[in-house]
Amino acid sequence: MTVYPVDYPATIDFPTALVGVRDASAHVESTAANCPNTKIVLGGFSQGAAVTGFVTANVIPDGAPEGVPNPMPPDIANHVAAVALFGKPNARFMGAINQPPVDVGPAYAAKTIDLCVPDDFVCSSGRDFNAHTQYAESGMVDEAATFTATRVLAALPPVASPQAPPPGARPPAAVLAAPPQAPAPAAPPPDPSAPAPPPFNALRPLPPGTLMRCDTVCHIIGPT
């Protein structure tokens, strides 16, 4: 996952956000063209929410300043999984600064979560300046994260299940490997200090307790 910070001067000079609208639109269109399988999430707070809203618009709003880019092609919406807006300036606020209202385009409306803390002077009819800074404390950031994750997962293609073998197909034969055999123990070398056995004489039995070793074949002649 990568995050792209939109490049524009975020100041109290609100019309400078036009630079952000151009930059964000160009980046979204470039991503959709070069990475068509990427699921894009758009988001913004306050002036950034206005930038994002204008990016999704399907028409150039009346009263927009000169230089506003044309709306993005309709098929770009297919690459955007979710839009999260925090404290988006409402029509009252935008009218007070002589700017057109921020309207999310119809192709993005169903995939947009538009959050406003109660009494936030930017996005509601309230006049609480502190409310505009309480989006994390209010839990709305977590709410937007849950909404966004759900939308992204829903937009991903299903995982292909393994194909079943055709009827009558012979199952693959199992290959059994014999375990490695341990080498046979080597015979102990002869002890050079042991006395040599007396020569064998079939007519004279060996003394009791004598061990006999037959290296080839031992023939029994008969009793003495």
Residues that are catalytic: 46, 120, 132
Distance, in Å, from the CA atom of 56 to the CA atom of 80, rounded to the nearest integer, reads 10
User: Any idea which residue has 């006999």 for tokens?
Assistant: 212
Other C-beta atoms closer than 10 Å to the C-beta of 172 total 7
Quick one: which of 26, 81, 82, 78 has its CA closest to 55? 26
Distance, in Å, from the CA atom of 130 to the CA atom of 141, rounded to the nearest integer, reads 17
State how far the alpha carbon of 199 is from the alpha carbons of 140, 195, 203, 207, 210, in Å: 105, 12, 12, 12, 11
Contact 36, 143 (CB under 8 A): no
Other C-beta atoms closer than 10 Å to the C-beta of 93 total 21
